[in-house]
Amino acid sequence: MHARMLDVVAPTAFVLMWSSAFIAGIIGVGAAPPLLVLLVRFTLAAIALTLYALAVRARWPRGAELGHVIVAGLLMQLVQFAAFYTAMAEHVSAAVISLVQGLNPVVIAVFAGRVLGETVTPRQWLGFGVGGVGVGLAVADQSRLSVSGLVLCVVGLLGLSVATVYQKRFTPAVDSRAATALHVAVSAPVVGLLAVAHNDIRVYDTGKLAESLVWMVLVNSMGAFLLLNALLRRWDTTRVGKLFFATPAVTAVLAWLIIDQPLRPLTVAGLAVGVLGMVLAAQRARARTPVREPVPA
């Protein structure tokens, strides 16, 4: 009975935690410039994750492996979140950003064809097209969406996707606990320099900024990460991956309830079509050469 309840509660909690990150991000960039929000988030998360990695005696990468972890971290954390948070500051809705991020498997499959020796099936190509239509429908319903905001979403998606393929190719055996701590640790000083260069060091609402950062660090960076690893130990990767299909819809509902972002019929239709595309595109490709599965990070 306990195990059965865990199989229901744990995935539900994970989807809510993951989806809430977009809401916390929008609240944060409403209280301070996006680069400053990221600087504080990365710094606090680096401290917390490093202490955790040390406590569990995680294996730290060295030499060339360390260099690859740094590159993956800058792509995964700095490029992805700097782009997404700046898009949030330009009034791109949480639902659209979540849907774009959810197309990560689509882009990964395209890159994996060349880098990892995998073929893209006709069903996956269909999923790519359907997913693109879904994003288009959701975007068409955003009256305040700018071209630059949409471009930033694409940049964020590419950062996440390239980082995922890079990790799978160059750091498949790295301990995910140490890698995640290093990812945010190396990204913090770079985003700090960018914030200073852009003079993005003002705070508009200290209270809201503090609340959003506490949630981002404890719930998103720590809680969701630990729960994800627990689920991966209990379930296979494919079953865990399917949880991400629910995040765009859950994010849209949370954004409507918590920050009053409108949930219009066209947005709902775009989310539904986009999730259908994600499901189709998630069909695992056939590998021409054996490839080691990545350690989640």
Tokens representing 136? Answer: 């288009």
Q: What is the pLDDT of residue 290?
A: 39
Number of Cβ within a 10 Å radius of residue 45: 26
CB atoms closer than 10 angstroms to residue 93: 28
Helix (H, G, I), strand (E, B) or coil at 206: helix
Tens-level pLDDT at each residue, the chain (297 residues): 456 656 778 888 988 999 999 999 999 999 999 999 999 999 999 999 999 999 999 999 999 999 999 999 999 999 999 999 999 998 888 888 988 887 777 777 777 666 656 666 777 777 777 777 877 777 666 656 678 888 999 999 999 888 888 888 898 888 988 999 999 999 999 999 999 998 878 899 999 999 999 999 999 888 887 887 777 677 765 667 677 777 888 888 899 899 988 878 877 887 788 777 777 766 654 444 333 333 333
This prediction's pTM: 0.83
Residue 27 has a pLDDT of 96
Give me the pLDDT at residue 293, please: 38
Fill in the amino acid letter for 41.
R
The single residue listed with the structure tokens 């190396």 is: 186
Length of the chain (residues): 297
Q: Within a 13 Å sphere around the CA of 215, how many CA atoms are in the beta-carbon half?
A: 19
> In sequence order, what are the residues at sequence separation of 6 or more whose Cβ sits closer than 8 angstroms to the Cβ of residue 159?
75, 76, 78, 79, 80, 83
**How big is the CA angle at 67 (ends 69 and 163), to the nearest 5 degrees?**
40
The pair of three-digit structure tokens given for residue 147, joined into one six-digit string = 């071209």
pLDDT for res 272: 84
Q: Quick one: pLDDT at residue 241?
A: 67
Backbone dihedral region of 189: left (phi > 0), alpha (psi from -120 to 50 degrees) or beta?
A: alpha
- Calculate the alpha carbon distances from 14 to 6, 10, 190, 263, 270 in Å: 12, 6, 29, 23, 23
Q: CA angle, 106 as apex, 97 and 12 as ends, to 5°?
A: 60
The residue whose two tokens read 């050469």 is 289
